[in-house]
Amino acid sequence: MTCGKYLAFPAGALGLFLILLPMSLQAQLMLSFAVLGIMFIGMTRPDNSTFRVVTLVFAGIIALRYGFWRTTETLPDMTEPLNFIPGFLLYLAEMYCLAMLAISFFMVIDPIKRKTPDMGAAADLPTVDVFIPSYNEDAELLAVTLAAAKSMAYPKDKLNIFLLDDGGTEAKRNHKNPHVSVAAIRRHEQLKALCAAMGVHYHARKQNDHAKAGNLNEGLKISCGELVVVFDADHAPVRGFLRETVGFFKDDEKLFLVQTPHYFLNPDPLEKNLQTFARMPSENEMFYSILQRGLDKWNASFFCGSAAVLRRKALMTTDGFSGQSITEDCETALSLHCQGWHSVYVDKPLIAGLQPETFVSFIGQRARWCQGMLQILILKRPFLAKGLSIPQRICYAGINMFWLFPLSRLAFMFSPLLYIFFSLEIYKANILEFASYAVTYLISSFAMQSYLYGRVRWPWISELYEYVQAVFLFGSILSVVRNPRKPTFNVTAKGQTLDKSKLSPLAKPYFAIFFLLLAAALYSGYRVLTEPVASELLLIVAMWNLINLGLAGAALGAIAERRELRRNQRLPVKRHALMHIGEIIHHVIVQDASSGGVSIEFVDKEPKLDLINPTTAKVEVRRGGQTISFNVVYRSRRMLGQTAICGFAYSERTPETVMAIAELMYSDQTVLQDRLERRQVRKNFFWGTSRFALWSLTESLRAIRYSAGLIRESVVQSFEDAPMVLNDNKIVQVPLTVKTVDHAPVLKGEQLYG
């Protein structure tokens, strides 16, 4: 990287000269393609930091030259307010994207890949308190997380585990509503007994003040460990979690945080509904595999609320976890970075968690993140915060400003309609100018996305996720801007199921936008054929709208929810085991395991298994010198090619069984890494675009089919509910007025999201 630093200065000076240099369109086109050529040469050496710097600098030249031209040549005349106002708003959206592009280049210029340090002698290891905050999660899910935490490889006399239960607080147990109080008392007693049986600590505070931050601070009051580990209720750690993280604290007395990535067992709603989870990198992988490593270069990797180790001494300097915003994790990290503490990011998946299963829960979660990050931007002003280095200010500002993306995304979605329907000229350029500046800028942007993130983000996926969130996050942004202190913490629902495929309750606006863009596409085609004079600019706008229509079509697939009956997510383990059925012992392979059961492949001849009087068995799995065992009952059989896979459920939920489940699922951390690497495959732009176009077509048709089925059900239901009357001596059913079912709630930012 040293050589890269020296090259950055002359490259930057050359870049500034090229950005401001006036030239003809032909010269601009030649310059752009020359710079693109240099970029593509640099991109052939992705692991060479020197070429990485040069490539990013030249990509920046193309982007900033476009920005300079966009500012000086393309804005509508201020004397034409109907053109100027929307044109200027579009310009601001583009400048925001340029700023975020520059910040992202800075953040990922030299990502760090850290090696695990030695923990040292067992006698010298620090004491560790594990906090598992809970609100409404069920005992079965919590039991596995507690068991996995207890199974972590660490001296048992230096490890204490606390379940911090905000669902069984004293205030809830004494609530005036008997339904609330009875449920809280039942939960309190159940979890208290669970913790006692598993040998961990249970604590419920008096009342739920300051949400998760308040709950964690309560944990600090009742514990005394030198290090504090935080796991969400659904985040089960692997056995080696502390082995991979604690050693960093030995080497740096000013280290306050070691953060690890969040790995998920289940798809998010978009992945589930578009059926991409098994083969495409998840949306969060770009953040955890690239961006956090880039932030680590600048000592700006931040706390993500779970899967992290923190130093108690550092937390005490800020009176514990910060709670002014509803994203206490990032706010806490910002406060400690301002005081000169350091952070480290370890890019190894060491926990397995759950994502929201429904689109409503997904949007609710992202709205909380959006509002919390904007609260930090407004209330904490990280770009001016004392104690931060300039790189840290840039990184924190970029992290928080990212959540303004709904404004720019919606501007890009709707701007073409102003010209197509109303002939408003909000972008002054002819086709040669557009090709010389805008097209080369877009080529550069897509090339850099592939270069920097291609392994973890396929073409058009970022745009799709931004659009589906923008529709509702726009209201969330307005809410927090009006009153930055108003948003409140809402817990994201996990472990939900869907008994049938159906449209999300939030589907209406996505259908409205899709059909609006479809109408614009048809009308623009009509105008191109009938208005040859306007066709040059109209052709550009029509293509832009067609891209937006593709995004809107794919988004319909995201809100057409597929059935999900599986409540317990599987993890492939492939462990050799012995199965005792009566007096006979069978050699088997445990193909996968979940908190509900296991899938078994018989190595020798498959025995006769009975579903009517379910066969019971005992499974023994050996690991090193230890043997874990659990009892199961036969539930299902399926064929995987020529191999029969038999499903068995756990027949009992004793503490020993839960510990065995945790050992079976989370003892080998390479399982999580292997699953990540299998789907982190780079796809080129042309493959990604064709694939995305196919998704858009097929998924929009699927959503329309769901919608038609919904209308049909509504009509049938109206006739079934209609009154019976006598007409000409015949009983006739009178249909009621047919109304389509109103699936979408009123979604004002402060009402839905707090």
- Residues taking part in catalysis: 166, 329
649 token code pair: 């459920």
- In this structure, what are the phi and psi dihedrals at residue 49, rounded to the nearest 5 degrees? -65, -30
d(CA 551, CA 697): 10
d(CA 583, CA 417): 74
d(CA 374, CA 369): 9
DSSP 527: H
Give the residues across from 730 on adjacent strands: 727
What lies within 8 Å, CB to CB, of 235 at 6+ separation is: 145, 262, 306, 307, 351, 352, 353
Secondary structure element (H or E) that encloses residue 691, with its range: helix 685-720
d(CA 299, CA 341): 9
The gap from C-alpha 409 to its chain's centroid, in whole angstroms, comes to: 18
Secondary structure element (H or E) that encloses residue 555, with its range: helix 535-559
- In this structure, what are the phi and psi dihedrals at residue 44, rounded to the nearest 5 degrees? -75, -10
Longest dimension (CA), the chain: 97
Residues 495 and 137: beta-carbon distance below 8 Å = yes
What lies within 8 Å, CB to CB, of 256 at 6+ separation is: 310, 311, 314, 315, 336, 341, 342, 343
The gap from C-alpha 347 to its chain's centroid, in whole angstroms, comes to: 16
Give the residues across from 599 on adjacent strands: 592, 647
Q: How many CB atoms lie within 10 A of CB 507?
A: 23
Pairing of strands 159-165, 128-134: parallel
DSSP 380: I
Question: Coil, helix or strand for 708?
Answer: helix
Q: Which of 684, 681, 619, 686 is nearest to 647 (CA)?
A: 619
What lies within 8 Å, CB to CB, of 183 at 6+ separation is: none
Residues 648 and 635: beta-carbon distance below 8 Å = yes
Pick left, alpha or beta for residue 340 (phi over 0 → left; psi -120 to 50 → alpha; otherwise beta).
Answer: left
Q: Which of 162, 158, 184 is nearest to 171 (CA)?
A: 184
d(CA 75, CA 84): 7
C-alpha distances in angstroms, 534 versus 87, 162, 408, 537?
19, 69, 27, 6
Pick left, alpha or beta for residue 641 (phi over 0 → left; psi -120 to 50 → alpha; otherwise beta).
Answer: left
The gap from C-alpha 316 to its chain's centroid, in whole angstroms, comes to: 30
d(CA 742, CA 732): 28
Give the residues across from 585 on adjacent strands: 580
469 token code pair: 């969130």
d(CA 689, CA 698): 14
Strand positions, DSSP E, 399-516: 502-503
Residues 310 and 227: beta-carbon distance below 8 Å = yes
200 token code pair: 């961990």
530 token code pair: 């009938």
Q: Which of 235, 238, 494, 232 is nearest to 355 (CA)?
A: 494
d(CA 493, CA 698): 29
Secondary structure element (H or E) that encloses residue 159, with its range: strand 159-165
